[in-house]
Amino acid sequence: MSMAIALAEQGYVPDTIVRLAIRRLLKKRLLQDRARRTPEGKAELIKEMCQGPVAINTGDANQQHYEVPTGFFQLMLGSRMKYSCASFDDERAALNEAEENMLALCCSRAELEDGQSILELGCGWGSLSLYLAEHYPSSQISAVSNSATQRAYIETEASKRDLKNLRVITADMNDFSTNERFDRVMSIEMFEHMRNYRMLFQQISEWLKQDGKLFFHIFCHRDMPYFFEADSKDDWMAKHFFTGGVMPSFDLPSHFNEHLSQEKAWEVNGLHYARTCAEWLKNLDQTKPEALKAIAHSGNPASEDIQFNRWRMFVMACQELFAYAEGKEWHVAHYLFAKQ
């Protein structure tokens, strides 16, 4: 397996073969982690989650994703720089429109109103926080990222758009704290990088006003939570892209109800994410020379070609995962929690 991965990283393996291998690995994952589907298996995983800090391997997450040169992501993502699932309810929609659709859907489900104070955790390149600042001009938006390059990008964009109601905070979620109280806390695809949900939910409850609510968007498996662990050379995803990450199950957040209570939960079919990834891959392939130049400054010891091929493999792996079983095995979920 290690030799095959090395050949794929060097670009010697056709996409059709890479995708076939990915689908086989997905089937293997469903078999090897099937014990996690049981109440006992989930209880064991939850116990392990609650024994550590809010997040682990935060430095790895930054190196693998969030300190990669912004120019690379500007080539791959849509105009909103949304590094998460878009919504393709209209199959004819382009990526830019699909990004807008998902942002609007999240705001609707979060029950937002202009004038609310909003805290976004794990804001990425500001797709949501900039959208909030534009569409809710009387609201005050605070956005937290663990990446200095992301903060610089967001602040530049906010200045270009003359947005005065957005501030960006650089902080590790293990260290972040605030004395402010918010009407809403929102998070888009950050919880998968968190470990101790119980501690995180407790902190969020303290940051919410008494009638405040938490809305978050995650990707998940329909009923089988598991960790991404680089136990061997073959654990490619955990090693290069998701060290310390968690694949939640759809019901996992509902088990952490000591401080926040789940009001609503929605499933979003995984085919939306598969289509998102297909658009990212198309963008990468169409801008390969520029992408190679961008990642030359990433600080990664691997060559530009290997880094580029790894990103292609990562996006293909995500596309195949969310397309599996017509998007019903792995998918996206939205949750609305209220303060207890």
Q: What is the pLDDT of residues 316-340, one digit of tens each?
A: 999 999 999 999 999 999 999 999 8
Token pair for residue 163?
Answer: 């947005």
Q: Does domain 2-339 have CATH number 3.30.2270.10?
A: no
For residue 269, the model assigns a pLDDT of 99
Amino acid type, 177 = S
pLDDT tens-digit series, residues 99-153? 999 999 999 999 999 999 999 999 999 999 999 999 999 999 999 999 999 999 9
Residue 1 pLDDT class (50, 70, 90 cuts): low
Looking from the CA of 95 toward its CB, the CA atoms found within 13 Å total 23
Contact 213, 187 (CB under 8 A): no
Name the phi and psi angles at 271, rounded to 5. -65, -25
Domain definitions of the chain by residue range: 2-339
Confidence of residue 64 (pLDDT cuts 50, 70, 90): very low
For the record, the structure tokens of 13 come out as: 């393996």
pLDDT exceeds 70 at position 63: no
Residue 234 has pLDDT above 80, yes or no: no
pLDDT per residue as tens digits for the range 261-318:
999 999 999 999 999 999 999 999 999 999 999 999 888 888 999 999 999 999 999 9
The fraction of the chain above a pLDDT of 70, given in percent, is 95
Q: What is the DSSP string of 9-58?
A: HTT-S-HHHHHHHHHHHHHHHHHHTGGGGSHHHHHHHHHHHTTS-SBS-H
Alpha helix positions (H), the chain: 2-9, 15-32, 39-49, 58-61, 70-76, 95-109, 127-135, 148-160, 197-207, 236-240, 271-286, 288-295, 304-323
